[in-house]
Structure 1
Amino acid sequence: MESESVKPVYGEVHKCTIELPGWIDGKSRYRAIVEAMKKNGNWPCQGTRTYLPDGKRGEYVWEDGNTVLSKINKLALGLKELGLKKGDKVGIMSKNRPEWTIADIACTSQGCVVVPIYDSYGPDNCKFIISSTEQVCVFVGHDNVNFMREACSHCPTVKNIILFDGTPPDEEYIRSVNASDKETRKGIEEIGFSHLYSEIMEMGGKQLNANPFVQIENPEMAFDDLATIVFTSGTSGVPKGAMLSDHSLLKGGWTLSGRATNVPYQDIIVSYLPLAHIFQRSIEIVALTLGIGIGYFSGSIPQLTDDLFHLKPTLFPVVPRVLSKICMAIKDKISKSGAVTRSLFKAAYFLRQKAMIDEWPTMAISNPIMKKVSSMFGGRLRVVFCGSAPLSPDIGRFLNVVMGGRVLEGYGQTEACGASFAMIEVDHNYGSVGHILPGVEACLMSVPEMGYLATANPPQGEVCLRGWPVFMGYYNDPEATKRTLADGWLHTGDVGQWLPGGQLKIIDRLKNVFKLQQGEFVYVEDIEGCLATSDVIDQIMIYGEPLMSGLVAIVVPNKKALLAWGKETGSTLDGYEEAKKSFMTSRPSPSSSSSLVSSQSDSSFSTKAGWSDDNEYEFLCTFQPAIAFVAEHIHKRLVEAKRKGFEIPRSIFMTPVEFSIENGQLTPTHKARREVIKAVYRKQLDEMSRSLQ
């Protein structure tokens, strides 16, 4: 056993020589927005799509910066009249919409502490967050009213629930509960809210009309006061609340501004990643202070491509899971095109890739083939920011060429206000997360028991951060704070390596690294990343334990690829028809608690006439030759990636149920919740583990 007195070894400290603009020093987000609007408040600031008579969405309509600031002021005064004061905790649970950001800034201008809640959170996490932070007020979208009513019934500190209103769906819900008239409106226990957002705005508007020079910002508030408690997305259990100051939020957003050329009052960014996550929230802070228009999505991810077509954004924040799906969709479309089109695409890809690396003139890299692809995203993209999880280098390189905008990967944590590293526009070194951002210092700490040495060449170790973006600690969790903030550094739990050019490469997370029975260390997320561009696998979670001699995996195969294999190969095999008949008679019904598909799938043969593609897909997930086909594909891909033998899963279980936010197997930012997936498939994992012995 190692002595506890052994001091940790830290490597060379890296920091950025570029300074952030001095005018934001010592300012709150509200004050920075006020000053930005003084320079120019007439630019299109927040945009939403209109509602057409048939319920569909029309074109984007915009409100300028002055109008948005006026709404912030009215809401701030209205909240003050409602009785909110410095230190009060205020929750926001809604899909992205302009009112979300307005409420965020208005609350913190009064010294209130904003606690964002993912609109996809389950009831247990929601109740935990509201009750543990003792929230007194919650803003909510109509989609979440009933859920919030149930959650708040267990949280006696909540006195007001404010319903966002102003859109046709909002008004329809209000009419459905007979709540249009506040004089006859029932209580929270019955309808789920106490006030309408517009009513609080009206309260503040009356004060502003009576005294246009009334002070908005709470004079008791300091720029470095606690402004928000952002709960982590919970990949490994109960989420923890990271405490961040208002000034850190402002500067945390601004760190990204220098990584891409900004065109003030012309750039447009799309808002669809959850505002409850620090990544999107930081980006919108920059937008409001730099003159970047924010176009909000329609509320449905499947409709996002239509939103992009109408919005025509120049800046596009994404997470790797979204880019992976985009990459697969483009490649699938190209593969199904004619031979001439495929040849033209290949030639266009080669030329554009060379042109971007050698910095040819813009006209030289423009061609009809690539224009068709870039038009999927509106045709004006300049920069695609990717964060939240590691991006496959192959996906980054491919989409950097075809999307029409530079794909820049970054790295950060909620505990450090979002981004701490990001690629620069001329960097094509995918596989790294770029260089350190302004205001941040970073080093690597040796992890000798795993062979990582910060003093080796190349330096490797746990990534540690310090500087003004670092959080104040975890809310009401001193033990977790002590573990994470040690020796003056934020210990991220990520394993990194410095590259010769000063970029950082993330190798894996410490908690997802383990040693197999034979003493070999395994980095499961790194192995999974080698399969990110597979057209046969949609999702995979590789599993192992110290007492196991090898790895196993839970696999969600690509439906199209599996069905194609079944049609071309599987159906010709001996035993195919017998296996299908056996599956039809023995398959548990969706109501059975033992069925993995259960109510998450509508593929029950018993509820449909005939044999559907859903039935075939579910059957093939149990058909041994199909399992062998997918397992062989995994083996081949990992061998091509030069993975070692012990890193290749020796047994797999295939499921037709994707890991999703809805079933709790993905976080709201599309990271795998490994502990949840392990629990769901515990029986299958145990059986595969025993088979290795």
Structure 2
Amino acid sequence: MLKSFVVPSSEVPGYSSIYRHPDYSGGTFNGKFADITTLYEIFKAQVKNHPKEHFLGARTYFHRTNTFGDYEWLTTTDVDEMVDDYGSGLDQLFAAHAPDINDETGQQPLGIFSNNRPEWILTELAAFRSCRYSVGISDKAGIKTAEFYICCSELEVLICSMDKLPHILERIEHTPRLKVIISMDKLDCSKPTPFTREFNVETISELKSKATSLNIVLTDVAQVIEMGRAKPTEPTLPKPSTYCTLSFSSGSTGMQKGILITHGAFAATCRASYLGMQQRNVCHLSFMTPSHIFDRFIIYAFMHDAIHVGFSSGVDELLLSDMQALRPTVLATTPQLLSSVYNKVVSATIEANGVVGILSRFAYKSKLSRVSSGGGFKHALWDWLVFGKIAQLFGGNLRLVIAAAVGLKPDLHNFFRAALSCNVIQGYGQTENMGIAVMQRINDISTGNIGIPSPGFDIRLRSIPDMGYVATDSQCPRGEIMIRSKGIFSGYYKAPEKTAKAMDGEWLATGDIAQLNPDGTLKTIDRIGNVIRTALGIYVELEPLEMIYSTHRLVDSILIHGTLHAYDLVAIVVPRSETFVPWAQNIVGNKDAELVELCKDERVADTMTEELRALGSRAKAPSKAVIGAVHLEPQAFGEIDREFLTLSLKLRRFKIVQYYDSVINDLCQKMGNDIDLQIKTSGNS
């Protein structure tokens, strides 16, 4: 029985049939919450239905010891009152210092530059109250990237954490339109946060003086809220057709693009996924930057039926500590994070030596058999003996894990279902459709697929003959994923030609290649922009290979690349130091050798190449997609250059390839191949 509904007589030349969610086969999803058409209305529904619930929370910060405690909360009513005052204060600031309307959008943008914290969502909701739209800038973005966002979106008012102030003021000539900067942290230093540690009354006074000399209005959120409380303004509420955000594409395959999204489109996507995921009274840890659309999508989707949003401490090393303090019920994450945790946990359990390893392997086999046979995700004995400790790493309260972006390997997918004793589902979406357009159903225990169309989404495949993909194949349709729904972006900011290229009539062309499985689920198999053609004349899909090799116990992260005149692939590998160092020391016969020295040793690199080739063979990687040489990089990609990672922590491939150009040449020469770095980048990026 097909899991997707096939629209009768919908196949046309060059395209597959149209597929829909079986419960919404008519293509619409009227009913519950159909009257809610903007993100602000979603928020107001939570205010009405859950007024005293915990809503936005952050961990208590102890500045003397630079440590974090339990979560402190604002209720929905608290947030509603603050949003009203905050919005009134913003009205006054815009009227006095930045009254101009953006010619492209007919609205005023409001920039937000910080890590995950309650003030982020408070600011966006306050913007919505007066029909403004947000422009999110990731805390992990370098100052040059931030300046690109500020200039590209023509921002005049920016809200940021205090640590950003010196950098912005120092380089103000690069953002000439900026007129008002609002600090999320109090400028009187009365409430220390992790972002005020380097500041005191004297340094703040210097910042104020510098801002005055530059003709920049500098204030803080607390003062803006007080302004609004003293002089309330009437709200100007958004409509479905007005913009809620200008978000930027990841830039993993090319120049970042500004993506305009309306309230109506975003609200439709959030409601569709809420109906698909069937979760109520959710507790969510916000750790993926809100400037990336996925985190906000989760927040607004579950706001339909009450959500408690606990924001992470912002320290990567404390992420598991944040989970244990919050005990979330839903975890929205990326396969990259799960893969990282998987490597550490598996080495201590099912790959361990002795009694621990024997017991863990038997428990895992028993638990997986129970899950696969439909017996449920829990097992009293094995959860108590083995898996309960793993679940406690994530807070011990999870009932749903949602992994978006690149597909999960089946082994990893099954492991977390067994280890966390809960639903682990995959989904697929892009910023252009602002969430999850394809998603596995709750209690679907299959692996190796991204699910079926979300409610209200039409999905079909378009043939890509140049790459050998035929969408009309009756046995296994394959082609580019095309999406049609109310939840589609309005266009790229000031780039109509790129908008036209991304659309095929009313269909969004994603650039991702999928195949339709016999059961009606979809599986991503390729990417038009992330494909390498080797000297053998074959196209190699890179991201699935990287997912395979990133599970190796010695690998922290990996970038795989190939060339038109090289038969084998090359890899830039950042080792996982805790496992790699003792392993490599054994190879060189020196127990005192350190990471940097070991990465330079050719014997270590050659042995690592053999390790990866063996893993590829075990994982049944394509036989003609072989890693022939490895360069070991002791620094994490993000430490070398923050621009090497997208806001969702995916590798920004073209930048890394440029950086390692000479290294890749040397590796290919080592393999005895000529060099020609020609990357197949046709299609929408």
Deviation for aligned residue 1:399: 1.4
State the 1:26 CA deviation.
Answer: 5.4
* Pairs within 5 Å for 1:437-516: 437-456=454-473, 457-516=475-534
Distance between the aligned counterparts of 1:89 and 1:633, measured in 2? 51
CA deviation map 1:456-484 (0-9, x unaligned): 12000011111111111100112211111
Indicate the residue corresponding to 2:662 in structure 1. 683
Alpha-carbon separation, structure 2, partners of 1:513 and 1:173? 45
Structure 1 residues 319, 150: closer, same or farther in 2, change over 3 A?
Answer: farther
Deviations 1:165-184 (A, max 9, x none): 254135666634554899x8
Contact 1:445 1:462 in 2 (8 A): yes
RMSD (Å), alpha carbons: 2.5
Q: Which one of the candidate residues 334, 337, 346 is aligned to 1:319?
A: 334
Deviation, 1:452, is: 0.3
Instruction: Map 1:298-309 onto structure 2 (within 5 A).
Output: 298-309=313-324
- Relative to structure 1, the CA distance from residue 99 to residue 12 in structure 2 (aligned partners, 3 Å threshold; closer, same or farther) is same
Hey, what does 2:449 align to over in structure 1? Answer: 432
SS at match of 1:621: helix
Question: What CA deviation, in whole Å up to 9, does each residue of 1:501-544 have, x standing for no partner?
Answer: 22110002111223323322222222222213211222222212
- Matched residue count: 637
Structure 1 residues 111, 530: closer, same or farther in 2, change over 3 A?
Answer: same
Q: Given the alignment of the two structures, is residue 10 of structure 1 paired with residue 15 of structure 2, yes or no? A: yes
- Go from structure 1 to structure 2 and tell me whether the alpha carbon gap of 1:141 and 1:545 turns closer, same or farther (over 3 Å shift): same
Relative to structure 1, is the Cα distance of residues 49 and 34 closer, same or farther in structure 2, using a 3 angstrom cutoff? same
Deviation of 1:431 (Å): 1.8
Alignment partner, residue 8 of structure 2? none
User: Which one of the candidate residues 100, 108, 117 is aligned to 2:120?
Assistant: 100
2:554 aligned with 1:536: yes
Between 1:325-334 and 1:451-460, the stretch displaced more is: 325-334
Residue 84 of structure 2 corresponds to which residue in structure 1?
73
> Cα offset for 1:136?
1.3
- The one-letter amino acid of 1:228's match is T
CA distance in structure 2 between the aligned counterparts of 1:105 and 1:644, rounded to whole angstroms? 48
Q: 1:97 is aligned with what amino acid?
A: R
Q: Alpha-carbon deviations, 1:283-319, whole Å to 9, x = none?
A: 1112433211111111111111111111111111111
Query: Which protein, 1 or 2, shows the higher relative CO under an 8 Å CA cutoff with sep ≥ 6?
Result: 2
Task: Tell me the residue number matched to 2:572.
Answer: 554
CA distance in 2, matches of 1:193, 1:661: 33
2:63 pairs with 1:63: no
Residue of structure 2 in register with 1:521 after alignment = 539
Q: Which one of 196, 200, 205 corresponds to residue 175 of structure 1?
A: 200
Q: In structure 1, what is the Cα distance between the partners aligned to 2:123 and 2:399?
A: 30
Unaligned runs of 5+ in 2: 1-11, 102-106, 675-685
Does the 8 A contact of 1:252 with 1:418 survive in 2? yes
* Aligned twin of 1:652: 630
CA distance in 2, matches of 1:363, 1:350: 12
Query: In structure 1, which of residues 246, 262, 268 is the aligned counterpart of residue 263 of structure 2?
Result: 246
Go from structure 1 to structure 2 and tell me whether the alpha carbon gap of 1:545 and 1:535 turns closer, same or farther (over 3 Å shift).
same
Q: Which residue of 1 aligns with 2:229?
A: 205
Q: Deviations over 1:351-396 (max 9, x none)?
A: 2222323343646464232111111111111111111333222211
Aligned match for 1:135, one of 142, 149, 155: 155
| Separation (CA, whole Å) in 2 of partners of 1:375 and 1:191 | 52
Q: Whole-Å Cα distance in 2 between the matches of residues 159 and 501 of structure 1?
A: 56
Confirm or deny: 8 A CA contact 2:644 2:651 kept in the other structure.
yes
The counterpart of 1:643, out of the listed 618, 621, 630, is 621
Q: What letter is aligned with 1:48?
A: A
User: With structure 1 as the length reference, what TM-score do the two structures score?
Assistant: 0.87
Q: 2:184 aligns with which of 164, 172, 179?
A: 164
Q: Following TM superposition, by how much is the alpha carbon of 1:125 offset from its aligned partner in structure 2, in angstroms?
A: 2.3
**Deviation, structure 1 residue 55:** 3.4
Shift of 1:143: 2.3
Distance in 1 between residues matched to 2:348 and 2:374, nearest whole Å? 28
Q: Partner letter of residue 474 of structure 1?
A: Y
Deviation of 1:553 after TM superposition, in Å, equals 2.1
Aligned AA (2:71): Y
Note if contact 2:587-2:604 (Cα within 8 Å) is conserved in structure 1. no
- Tell me the amino acid that sits aligned with residue 231 of structure 2: Q
Structure-2 residue corresponding to 1:154:
174
* C-alpha distance in structure 1 between counterparts of 2:498 and 2:112, whole Å: 25
- Structure 2: distance between partners of 1:175 and 1:447: 59
The normalised TM-score by structure 2 is 0.88
Q: Which residue of 1 aligns with 2:59?
A: 49
- Is 1:402 the counterpart of 2:412? The answer is no
Code of the aligned partner of 1:672: L
Cα deviation 1:634-693 (Å, max 9, x = unaligned): 111222233344310222222212222661222121211111111111111122334224
Question: How many angstroms does 1:186 deviate by?
Answer: 5.4
The aligned residue for residue 219 of structure 2 is 195
Given that 1:562 and 1:620 are in contact with CA atoms closer than 8 Å, whether structure 2 keeps it comes out as no
Q: Distance in 2 between matches of 1:301 and 1:405?
A: 24
Structure 1 position 185, deviation (Å): 6.0
Change in 2 beyond 3 A, CA 1:40/1:561: closer
Letter in 1 for 2:127: C
The one-letter code sitting in structure 1 at the alignment partner of 2:48 is K
Q: Which 10-residue stretch deviates more, 33-42 or 374-383?
A: 33-42
Partner AA of 1:59 in structure 2: D
C-alpha separation in 2, matches of 1:485 and 1:160: 37
Report the Cα distance in structure 2 between the residues aligned to 1:541 and 1:363, rounded to whole angstroms.
38
Deviation string for 1:3-30 (max 9, x for gaps)? Answer: xxxx971111112243264434453211
Aligned-residue offset at 1:490: 0.8
User: Deviation string for 1:46-95 (max 9, x for gaps)?
Assistant: 11111235332111121211111111111111111212566111110000
CA contact (8 A) 1:10 1:444 kept: yes
CA distance in 2, matches of 1:562, 1:290: 46
Q: Quote the offset at 1:41 in angstroms.
A: 0.6
Aligned pair 1:255/2:276, yes or no?
Answer: no
**Residue of structure 1 equivalent to 2:33:** 23
CA distance in structure 1 between the aligned counterparts of 2:605 and 2:215, rounded to whole angstroms: 50
- CA 1:57/1:518 → structure 2, altered by over 3 Å: closer, same or farther? closer
Once residues 147 and 21 of structure 1 are traced to their aligned partners in structure 2, the CA distance between those partners, rounded to angstroms, is: 49
Q: Is 1:230 aligned to residue 209 of structure 2?
A: no
Query: 3-state DSSP class of the match of 1:438?
Result: coil
Q: Secondary structure at the residue paired with 1:439?
A: coil
From the superposition, tell whether residues 487 and 547 of structure 1 become closer, same or farther in structure 2 (CA, over 3 Å): farther
Q: Is the contact between residue 159 and residue 184 of structure 2 (CA under 8 Å) also seen in structure 1?
A: yes
- 8 Å CA contact 1:138–1:161 kept in 2: the answer is yes
One-letter code aligned to 2:242 = D
Partner residue in 2 for 1:372: 389
Distance in 1, matches of 2:322 and 2:465, equals: 49
Residue 91 (structure 1) aligned with residue 111 (structure 2):
yes
Q: CA deviation at 1:159?
A: 1.2
- What secondary structure does 2:529 align onto? helix
List runs of 5+ in structure 1 lacking aligned partners: 1-6, 209-213, 572-576, 578-610
